[in-house]
């Protein structure tokens, strides 16, 4: 077994998105409660509000269940985005054409809606920060990492070839 030079675990923790979803769910529950309390509630309106609140609760549960694991060693880059990936995916170093550490400002994820990275496989819970890998067969990957400085230092220590 090769020694891991970099290992990281992440979870979804964007408080802004979570707050918006929670406010939407609470608003839907408040609307249903207000309609019932005032006595003029139509069943379809109340059920619609409850369905919206339940849907937003499900979205919140799904986002909170997302877990990303990244590990890098002498042989390969391994990553797994649970629950999307059943088992860890590997990119062997011998298949890598180039790799670059990508650092993006915190607010950059809220701008540039017209930018498209159509040919890139994007696996990240930390925005557009991490390791950008291009394989010899032309596939591009962005594997997200929160601690890009530690990632860059670890890759500098890695002796390839």
What is the domain extent for residue 23?
15-64
How many domains are contained in the chain? 2
pLDDT digits (tens, 9 = 90+) for 92-119: 989 988 888 888 776 665 555 545 556 7
Under the banding of pLDDT at 50, 70 and 90, the label for residue 153 is: confident
How far apart are the C-alpha atoms of 94 and 89, rounded to whole Å? 15
74 with 149, same domain: the answer is yes
How far apart are the C-alpha atoms of 26 and 7, rounded to whole Å? 38
Under the banding of pLDDT at 50, 70 and 90, the label for residue 158 is: confident
Q: Which residue has the tokens 């070839």?
A: 161
- CB-based contact 70:5 (threshold 8 Å): no
- CB-based contact 105:70 (threshold 8 Å): no
135 with 101, same domain: the answer is yes
87 with 136, same domain: the answer is yes
CATH of the domain at 104: 2.30.29
40 with 79, same domain: the answer is no
- The predicted model gives 47-76 an average pLDDT of 94
pTM of the model: 0.76
80 with 135, same domain: the answer is yes
- CB-based contact 129:103 (threshold 8 Å): yes
97 with 134, same domain: the answer is yes
pLDDT for res 102: 86
């Amino acid at each position: 077994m090769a020694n891991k030079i970099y290992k990281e675990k992440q979870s979804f923790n964007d408080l802004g998105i979570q707050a918006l979803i929670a406010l939407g769910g609470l608003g839907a529950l408040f609307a249903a409660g207000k309609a019932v309390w005032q006595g003029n509630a139509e069943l379809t309106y109340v059920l619609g509000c409850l369905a919206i609140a339940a849907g937003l609760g499900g979205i919140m549960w799904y986002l909170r269940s997302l877990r990303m694991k990244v590990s890098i060693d002498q042989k390969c880059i391994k990553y797994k985005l649970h629950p999307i990936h059943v088992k860890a995916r590997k990119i062997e170093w011998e298949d890598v054409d180039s790799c670059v550490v990508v650092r993006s400002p915190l607010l950059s994820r809220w701008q540039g809606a017209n930018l498209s990275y159509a040919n890139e496989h994007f696996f990240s819970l930390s925005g557009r920060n991490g390791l950008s890998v291009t394989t010899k067969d032309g596939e591009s990957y962005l594997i997200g990492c929160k601690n890009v400085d530690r990632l860059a230092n670890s890759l500098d220590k890695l002796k390839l070839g």
